[in-house]
Amino acid sequence: MVGRLDGTIYSTERKPEHFMRIFGGFGISQNVLDKLKENGCEIIRLKYYGAKIYNYSCPLDLFIYSNKTFTFEGNDLQRFVSVNDMEER
User: Are residues 70 and 27 in contact, defined by beta-carbon separation less than 8 angstroms?
Assistant: yes
Confidence at residue 37, expressed as pLDDT on a 0 to 100 scale: 98
With respect to residue 16, please indicate whether it lies within any of the assigned structural domains. yes
With bands split at pLDDT 50, 70 and 90, how would you rate the model's confidence at 59?
Answer: very high
With bands split at pLDDT 50, 70 and 90, how would you rate the model's confidence at 73?
Answer: confident
With respect to residue 89, please indicate whether it lies within any of the assigned structural domains. no
Q: Tell me, what amino acid is at 1?
A: M
Domain count within the chain: 1
Indicate the pTM of the whole model: 0.93
Helical H runs in 1-40?
Answer: 30-38
With bands split at pLDDT 50, 70 and 90, how would you rate the model's confidence at 74?
Answer: confident
pLDDT-above-70 percentage for the chain = 99
**What range defines the domain where residue 34 resides?**
4-84
